[in-house]
Amino acid sequence: MCRVVDLRQAVLAKNDVAAQVLRTELTARGTTVVNLLSSPGSGKTALLERELLLARERGVAVAALTADLATENDALRLARSGVPVKQVLTDGLCHLEAAMLGRHLDGWLPEDTRLLFVENVGNLVCPAGYDLGESLRVVLASVTEGEDKPLKYPTAFGLAQLVVVTKTDIARAVEFDEAAFRANVDQVNPGVEVVLTSARAGEGLGVLLDRALAAGAGAVTHTPVMARQQHDHGHEHDHSHGHEHGHGHALDHGHDHDHDHDGDLDHEHPHPHVHTAAQTR
> Which residues make up the interface to ligand GDP (CB under 6 A)?
38, 40-46, 122, 166-167, 169-170, 198-200
Phi-psi region of 87 (alpha: psi -120 to 50; beta: other; left: phi over 0): beta
Least gap, CB of 143 to ligand GDP (angstroms): 9
Least gap, CB of 41 to ligand GDP (angstroms): 4
Nearer to ligand GDP, 167 or 235 (CB): 167
81 is in the binding site of which of ligand GDP, Mg ion, none (Cβ under 5 to 8 A by kind)? none
C-alpha distances in angstroms, 117 versus 63, 72, 191? 6, 16, 24
238 is in the binding site of which of Mg ion, ligand GDP, none (Cβ under 5 to 8 A by kind)? none
Nearer to ligand GDP, 145 or 262 (CB): 145
Q: Are 130 and 97 in contact (CB under 8 A)?
A: yes
Least gap, CB of 146 to ligand GDP (angstroms): 15
206 is in the binding site of which of Mg ion, ligand GDP, none (Cβ under 5 to 8 A by kind)? none
41 is in the binding site of which of Mg ion, ligand GDP, none (Cβ under 5 to 8 A by kind)? ligand GDP
Nearer to ligand GDP, 182 or 200 (CB): 200
User: Smallest Cα–Cα separation from 93: which of 126, 65, 117, 119?
Assistant: 126
Least gap, CB of 40 to Mg ion (angstroms): 7
Strands (E), the chain: 32-37, 62-68, 85-89, 115-119, 136-142, 162-166, 193-196, 259-260, 274-280
Q: For residue 208, how many C-alpha atoms fall within 13 Å in the half-sphere facing its CB?
A: 34
Least gap, CB of 44 to Mg ion (angstroms): 5
Nearer to ligand GDP, 40 or 248 (CB): 40
The answer to whether 142 contacts Mg ion (rule: CB under 5 A) is no
Site for Mg ion in 3-62 (CB under 5 A): 44-45
Nearer to ligand GDP, 11 or 138 (CB): 138
Phi/psi for 89 (5° steps) reads -100, 125
43 is in the binding site of which of Mg ion, ligand GDP, none (Cβ under 5 to 8 A by kind)? ligand GDP
Pairing status of strand 85-89 against strand 274-280: parallel
Least gap, CB of 259 to ligand GDP (angstroms): 26
Q: How far apart are CA 60 and CA 38, in angstroms?
A: 25
Nearer to ligand GDP, 39 or 230 (CB): 39
Least gap, CB of 170 to Mg ion (angstroms): 18
Q: How far apart are CA 280 and CA 80, in angstroms?
A: 28
Number of residues that bind Mg ion (CB under 5 A): 3
Q: Are 243 and 120 in contact (CB under 8 A)?
A: no
C-alpha angle with apex 237: 231 to 242, nearest 5 degrees? Answer: 140
Handedness of CA 92, 93, 96, 98 (dihedral sign): negative
Which position among 16, 49, 72, 74 is part of the footprint of Mg ion (CB under 5 A)? 74
Binding site for Mg ion (CB under 5 A): 44-45, 74
